[in-house]
Structure formats: C-alpha cells, structure tokens
Copies of this chain bind each other. A is one copy, B any other.
C-alpha cells in the first residue's frame, strides 16, 4: 500500500472485513492477517488484536479459546448484532463507492 490515502481507505474497511469474514467462518488473528497479506493488504498486530477486542466489547463478535496442536487460538464468530451492523456497513460502503462511479 504505497500511499497513505490508500492505506486509510483500507483501514476504514478493516472492521467491516473482519465482521464479513467472521460471518462466513470462525476466524482468528494470525490467519486473518495472513489472508489479508495474500490479498496485498497489511495491518500491524498492534492494531489488529485491539480491534478484535473492541469488536467483542461492542458485542459484534464473540470469542472462545481453543487449543490446536498445543497452541492457543482465540476464535471469533459474528453475533446477531454484529450481523446487523455488518449489513448496514455493506450498504454504506456500496453507496460510497457507487457515488464515485456514477455521474
């Protein structure tokens, strides 16, 4: 992400994408971060983990620890209210993009 403008755009989306992925399957930090990188995006763990915490505090995600090969993972899934805000966010995002292309 060469330019700060593009990075900020991405950062605005990051929470929405977290919820979006958590809606499809259980996610955890490490894997989510790697998936982003595969798509050419990047976010610091110092940003990502606090984001997960905050989304859980707000009631959009819920989490459970699980041991996988002796390592602890914190899996997150979407809550009902998380799904509600996700749908709102998708609409808003679409609206904002559409305006960039219409006219």
Q: How many copies does the complex hold?
A: 2
Neighbouring B residues of A90 by C-beta, 8 Å: 97, 100-101
Residues on B with beta carbons closer than 8 Å to the beta carbon of A94: 97, 100-101
Interface residues of A in 19-71 (CB under 8 A from B): 20, 24, 60
A96: chain B residues within 8 A (beta carbon): 9-10, 13, 17, 93
A6 and B100 form a contact (CB under 8 A)? no
Count of interface residues, chain A, beta-carbon cutoff 8 Å: 28
A12 and B15 form a contact (CB under 8 A): no
Judge whether B85 and A5 touch: CB under 8 Å: yes
Do residues B24 and A15 form an inter-chain contact, with CB atoms below 8 A? Answer: no
B9 A13 Cβ-Cβ under 8 A: yes
- A65 to chain B minimum Cβ distance, whole angstroms, is 25
The 4 closest A-B pairs by CB, nearest first: A12-B12, A97-B97, A9-B12, A13-B96
